[in-house]
Amino acid sequence: MKEEKLPSVVGSKSFTAVAINCAAKAGEWVKTKLGTTLQLNQKVSASDLVTEIDKGSERLIRNLISTHFPQHSFLGEEGVEPGADASTQAIASAKDAEYLWIVDPIDGTTNFVHGFPFFCVSIALAYKGEVIVGVIYDPSSDELFVAEKGKGAYVHGKRLEISKEMKLQESLIATGFPPDQSYALPLNLRAIARLAPQVRNIRSGGSAALHMAYVAAGRLTGFFEYNLNSWDLAAGSLIIQEAGGKVTDIEGHSYHLEVRDVVASNGHIHQELLQELGRV
Ligand code: IPD
Ligand code: CA
Ligand code: CA
């Protein structure tokens, strides 16, 4: 009788344990490279950077994941051509995979390059198009945000809870300054101008994934940004939802892997935030 050849899988570690291990290892390695001489490459503009550390971090994560789950699919930022079209295309063709790992090896590369300690590693696992594990690791503060579908969201064993603000007026809202200066940046700037007089204040830390983690942790009331990629949002979307918050596109449709214009919040202020953004 012919023996069936099984894929070689090391051990039987849970998806979440592997995601945590990858994020922690990659984040620690990235941190050791802070302040070293970096070879900078531009993607679409001088505000869109990539370093050999982004690529090394992604390689490390991809190798570890394929050691445990060689049959799973993988979508990492550094494996995709620069630009919105290629990113849109990449998630459109990957999203139907049974198991898909979605990875941003450094979210906040500009901060990393400048030594501004607000960047992270973001790893999500989607099963048939739905995110089931999300891990975001900030090596500067050694905070690891983790969520499993239906099991809550945690940072170092402490359950994450969204903030209590009920009105936009009391809200601390984050956004980004996108590297895409022709489409996303002007939209974001108009939204900032519209929102600034109506909220408690606006922040822009420079890492979409960490902003999402901060919404889950109740440190921010909400976050919005235009033209983000699946790897910026996938892990954070689950972490926020598991912390009791809400994630939609700019029109209020529930989050899915192809969302690019995102609105995330504690839920209470979501409608008000959507309404204001709708007027931009
Ligand atoms: C960027 C960061 C930034 C956001 C940009 C993203 P990267 O990701 O999340 O906060 O404003 O739109 O591209 O390039 O550092 O992975
Ligand atoms: Ca990113
Ligand atoms: Ca990145």
pLDDT digits (tens, 9 = 90+) for 61-74: 999 999 999 999 99
Catalytic annotation, pick one of 77, 148, 242, 272: 77
CA 63 – CA 174 distance, rounded (Å): 33
The sheet that has 172-174: what strands, in order across it?
Answer: 201-203, 172-174, 222-225, 262-265, 246-249
Last residue of a domain, which of 136, 159, 182? 159
What mean pLDDT do residues 27-32 have?
A: 97
CA 87 – CA 95 distance, rounded (Å): 12
4: pLDDT strictly greater than 90: no
What mean pLDDT do residues 10-17 have?
A: 76
What mean pLDDT do residues 266-270 have?
A: 98
Catalytic annotation, pick one of 148, 180, 225, 232: 232
Instruction: With residue 111 as reference, give the H or E element that holds it.
Output: helix 109-114
Query: Residue 65 maps to which CATH number?
Result: 3.30.540.10
11: pLDDT strictly greater than 90: no
63: number of Cβ within 10 Å:
10
CA 177 – CA 188 distance, rounded (Å): 7
Last residue of a domain, which of 101, 126, 159? 159
Say whether both 28 and 150 belong to one domain.
Answer: yes
Q: Which domain holds residue 140?
A: 9-159
Say whether both 155 and 72 belong to one domain.
Answer: yes
Residue corresponding to tokens 């344990």: 17
Residue corresponding to tokens 């830390």: 205
Say whether both 184 and 124 belong to one domain.
Answer: no
Output the pLDDT for position 220.
98
> Ligand 1 — pocket residues by CB below 6 A?
104, 107-109, 176-179, 206-208, 225, 228, 232
Any domain includes 4:
no
The distance of Cα 28 from the centroid of its chain, to the nearest Å, equals 18
Say whether both 257 and 186 belong to one domain.
Answer: yes
- Of 3-7, 86-90, 268-272, the one with minimum mean pLDDT is 3-7
**pLDDT, tens digit, for every residue of 34-84?**
987 677 677 666 666 678 999 999 999 999 999 999 999 999 999 999 999
Question: 49: CA distance to ligand 3 center in Å?
Answer: 9
- Of 3-7, 15-19, 150-154, 261-265, the one with minimum mean pLDDT is 3-7
Output the pLDDT for position 1.
46
Say whether both 155 and 177 belong to one domain.
Answer: no
Say whether both 45 and 147 belong to one domain.
Answer: yes
Nearest atom (ligand 1) to Cα of 205: 10
Output the pLDDT for position 45.
66
Output the pLDDT for position 9.
47
Question: 42: CA distance to ligand 1 center in Å?
Answer: 13
What mean pLDDT do residues 179-184 have?
A: 86
Output the pLDDT for position 50.
75
Q: Could you tell me the pTM of the whole model?
A: 0.93
Say whether both 124 and 189 belong to one domain.
Answer: no
Last residue of a domain, which of 127, 159, 191? 159
In this structure, the residue with its CA closest to atom 16 of ligand 1 is 107
